[in-house]
Chains A and B, each alone.
Chain A
Amino acid sequence: MAEALPPVTVIIDGQEVRVPKGTLLIEAAKKAGVEIPVFCYHPKMKPVGACRMCLVDIQKMPRLQTACTTPVSEGMIVHTRNDRATAGQKAVLELMLANHPLDCPICDKGGECPLQDNTFKFGLGVSRFTEPKRKLAKAIPLSERIVLDRERCIMCYRCVRFQDEIAGDQALAAMDRAGTSQIGVLDGETFDSPFSGNTIDLCPVGALLSRQYRFRARPWDLQRTPSICAGCAVGCNVELHARDRALQRMVPRENMAINNEWLCDFGRFDTLPLGIERLREPAVDGQPTSWAEALESAAELLRSGPTEVIVSPSITNEALNAATTIARELKAGLGVWPATTGQVRRTIQDLVTSKTIILLGLDVWRALPVLALRVREALKAGGKLYFVGAGANGLWRDTSATFATVEELVQALTHDGALPQPISILGWGADALGDELAAEGMVGSPATAANGAAMTGLPKATFEAPVQLLVGNEDWPLRSSASARIQLRWSAAGDAADRPSIVLPLAHPYEQTGSLINLEGTVQQLHPGAAAPAAAHPDWLALAELAEALHISAAPDMETNAALA
């Protein structure tokens, strides 16, 4: 919208810059290459001017102004580093530090803390306060995942605004007034938003911290590897942080086409292989053995009788290719479990720009959380959300109307004329309705598992063959006593030990390369962010070795490549 306004010229620290009228001064300064310190301002959220850190001197204005709330106008001359402005910035920092405990050495934010950075860069260097600092409760667990330190909070409201504007569940609130104002949850509640982890990234001090990552490393200890979240089919772009090749945490990377810059708690905390017992060595009937021997036994077993190859919808494309080859050469059945497949037309970007979004029984809030945030972006831009079905709908706060059946929806909404385009329809039966409404947005039943979109067309596994090759880390259904199983997995769980079976240890998706296809069909690359257990192999390598033991060439064939492209 701002692009449509005529451009104006402003001069910031002597730099002339042309930006659309109505642009915030802080964004104009960014364009001019001038850094203005901020705490509360965040480009993805509405400005509030709560922290006063971005004070600048604008000519012809009597007092310092906050750059984050001031729109530019023609001919504006701004000084960010003159005496008046720096005095204001120093005063704000001094007041902030009047009550901020200087416990940086035991604070997890230390080393990646905007308050530290701004104090070094824009602060006074010393404190003139001799009064005792405010004493408040430290390390209050807000939920299973988040811990709050009230002494450190500088009341920038970033977390409160995130939960209100971006997530929309208002899970956090600012309580009390003035000097006693605090961040918190309502009495008796916990901070149980599926997006609570984002507040850790947003917090400019060490007030909201991860309990999982608490006291595990310093920012300078971490090796950072860009990769892809293996939690669901959205395929959020992430950065894996490891210390000494051991995974410690995961943070989002911005990708406006996919996840904006958000990540859900499931992806952020639960997909990491932390606190999960790993499968460390191959075993035949519960007896640890070498890869060579285990592969030999597996090949023998696979050749012995009718076989079904069952893949998890979260294995990589390369592994799927090898599994397909093995199944074809063995003339075995190939199935996927759990069923998750689905295809959509068009992209997440088309969903974000939709004016009408219809969910056919699909609870995106729980199934594909970050996609729910993208749906909310569309709603904020004037879209309307309709839900069909009796099931749960995590986006109930934003739903304009809920209908029992598709017919009811069509009848009620098309009564006064056509629905505003583009229309996005997600859920079972979306294609038919999409054709009926001539939808121009994202239409289809999206896959939910990490690589589910690559499994489209694979039949559901039957688990009936006497020999079953199970690829991927799933809670496979209990088998009949007649069958023998070969499992490739990374966690030690599962019915590995007691009955005739072979288990082969895999690397976790965050410890291997490979590619995943997200729900809109984008192929993205996994990069190993940590070391796998010594005997664990990437899923595609394990299957290639198995193919070799079966004397099958697992080289990717053109047909499969074409199908995956």
Chain B
Amino acid sequence: MLNGVGALLRGLWTTLKHSVRPAITVRYPEQKRTVSANFRGRHRLYRHDNGLERCIGCELCAGACPSQAILVEPAENDSEHPVSPGERYAKRYEINMIRCIFCGLCEEACPVDAIKLGPEYELSDYDRGSFVYTKEMLLDPEHYAPRRQVHADVDVPRPGYTDGGKGLSDLYGTYRPMSSSTPRAKRDEA
């Protein structure tokens, strides 16, 4: 009998204890948690400081991809107007975001640090076709953000996020895994 009362009190004590602690739930989507620096979200293609694309169209990302989500069609650079350093560039670069499992093997395989998985994770859209991200979209993620996410119960406008502007650049602001001042980058430029 007394044992039962003790257990009851212990249980109540646990409840009471947690009710006064700060909440760890986040009111998503109004609130968003900051993601870790290693977070593997939407892909992004990088450029050199001189504007040339880092991607050389080698197709190693496509070869490494376990879900065959990447399509690369290479072509030869016009030496007068090169797209990337060297002889080869990606004429077509597409990632199928439905197929992608965000494992990051493309990033591992890339010999020139052209592709990185970024922090952005809200990638839903309305039709299958719009999940195929082209090279332009991947090179300029701030301009080509996915369409505004609509949630049935909290359909509040989030200014700055969806109109291709500030919100996303804030998100990417500190996320620069490929600092252009690393020795590797300098060597590539040379």
Q: Could you tell me if A110 and B87 are in contact, using CB atoms closer than 8 angstroms?
A: no
Closest 5 CB pairs of A and B: A105-B58, A106-B88, A215-B74, A218-B59, A105-B111
Q: How far is the CB of B190 from chain A (nearest CB, A)?
A: 11
Is A103 at the interface (CB under 8 A from chain B)? yes
Given A139-B87, A215-B74, A216-B74: A106 and B63 within 8 A (CB)?
A: no
Enumerate A236-257 residues with CB–CB distance to B below 8 Å. none
Can you report 30 A-B residue pairs in the complex whose CB atoms are below 8 A from each other? A103-B86, A105-B56, A105-B58, A105-B60, A105-B88, A105-B111, A105-B112, A106-B56, A106-B57, A106-B58, A106-B86, A106-B87, A110-B58, A111-B63, A138-B87, A139-B87, A214-B76, A215-B57, A215-B74, A215-B75, A215-B76, A215-B87, A215-B88, A216-B74, A218-B59, A218-B62, A218-B63, A220-B63, A221-B59, A221-B62
Contacts of B63 in A (CB 8 A): 111, 218, 220
Q: A92-112: which residues lie under 8 A (CB-CB) from chain B?
A: 103-106, 110-111
B32-66 vs A: 1/0 string, CB under 8 Å?
00000000000000000000000011111011000
Q: Inside 8 A of B60's CB, which chain A residues have their CB?
A: 105
Interface residues on B, range: 10 to 19
A215 to B86, CA, bound (A): 12
The distance in angstroms between the C-alpha atoms of A538 and B76, with both chains bound, is 34
Interface residues of B in 15-34 (CB under 8 A from A): none
- For the complex, give the distance between the alpha carbons of A220 and B109 in Å: 15
Q: Find the residue from A111, A215, A220 having the highest chain B CB count within 10 A.
A: A215
Q: A105-B112, A106-B86, A216-B74 are in contact. List 6 more A-B contacts (CB 8 A).
A: A103-B86, A104-B58, A105-B88, A106-B58, A215-B57, A218-B63
Residues of A within 8 A of B56 (CB): 105-106
Return chain A residues, CB-CB under 8 Å to B112: 105
A-facing mask of B64-75, CB < 8 A → 1, else 0? 000000000011
Count, chain A residues at interface, CB 8 A? 14
Residues of A within 8 A of B111 (CB): 105
Residues in chain B near residue A221, CB distance under 8 A:
59, 62
Chain B residue with minimal CB distance to A211? B76
Q: How many A-B residue pairs have CB under 8 A?
A: 32
Bound form: Cα–Cα A519–B67 in Å: 47
Majority SS at the chain A contact face: loop
CB-defined contacts of B88 to chain A, threshold 8 Å: 105-106, 215
**Distance in Å from the Cβ of B188 to the closest Cβ of chain A?**
12
* CB within 8 Å of A: which B126-146 residues: none
A214 to B103, CA, bound (A): 31
Q: B residues within 8 A CB of A218?
A: 59, 62-63
A24 vs B33: C-alpha distance in the bound complex, in angstroms?
Answer: 69
Rounded to whole angstroms, the CA-CA distance of A215 and B76 in the bound complex is 7
| Bound: A74/B112 CA distance, A | 54
Bound complex: CA A214 to CA B87 (Å): 10
Instruction: Determine the residue in chain A with the shortest Cβ distance to B60.
Output: A105
A215 / chain B contacts, CB cutoff of 8 Å = 57, 74-76, 87-88
Looking across the interface, which residue of chain B has its beta carbon closest to that of A215?
B74
Determine how close the nearest CB of chain B comes to the CB of A481; give it in whole angstroms. 46
Chain B residues within 8 Å of A103, by CB: 86
Residues of chain B with a CB closer than 8 A to A139's CB: 87
CA of A111 to CA of B63, assembled, Å: 10
Q: Please indicate the chain B residues that have their CB under 8 angstroms from the CB of A214 in the complex.
A: 76
B125 to chain A, nearest CB (A): 25
Residue with the greatest number of chain B CB neighbours at <10 A, chosen from A104, A138, A221: A221
* Residues of the B chain whose Cβ atoms lie less than 8 Å from the Cβ of A110: 58
CA distance A139 to B87 in the complex (A): 9
> In the complex, A216 Cα to B88 Cα: how many Å?
10
B94 CB → nearest A CB, Å: 12
Could you say which residues of chain A place their CB within 8 Å of the CB of B87? 106, 138-139, 215
Interface 1/0 per residue, A356-393 and B, CB below 8 Å: 00000000000000000000000000000000000000
Which A residue sits closest to B79, measured CB to CB? A139
Considering the chains assembled together, what is the distance between the CA atoms of A218 and B62 in angstroms?
Answer: 10
Q: How far is the CA of A395 from the CA of B2 in the complex (A)?
A: 111
CA–CA, A220 and B76, complex, Å: 19
Q: How far is the CA of A280 from the CA of B188 in the complex (A)?
A: 46
Q: Residue-by-residue, is B102-125 near A (CB-CB < 8 Å gives 1, otherwise 0)?
A: 000000000110000000000000
- Minimal Cβ-Cβ distance residue in B for A218: B59
Question: In the complex the two chains form, what is the Cα distance from A40 to B82 in whole Å?
Answer: 36
Nearest-neighbour CB distance to chain B for A11, whole angstroms, equals 41
Q: Nearest-CB distance from A464 to chain B (Å)?
A: 50
Minimum CB distance partner of B71 in chain A: A244
Q: How far is the CB of A102 from chain B (nearest CB, A)?
A: 9
In the bound complex, what is the Cα–Cα distance between A214 and B111 (angstroms)?
Answer: 20
Q: Which residues of A contact B62 (CB under 8 A)?
A: 218, 221
> Which residues of B lie under 8 Å from residue A105 when comparing CB positions?
56, 58, 60, 88, 111-112
Shortest Cβ distance from residue A137 to the other chain B in the assembled complex, whole angstroms: 12
A220: nearest chain-B partner, CB-CB? B63
The chain B residue with its CB closest to the CB of A110 is B58
Contact indicator per residue, chain B 81-95, by CB within 8 Å of chain A (1) or not (0)? 000001110000000
List residues of A (101-159) whose CB comes within 8 Å of B's CBs.
Answer: 103-106, 110-111, 138-139
Interface string of A205-247 (1 = CB under 8 A from B): 0000000001110101100000000000000000000000000
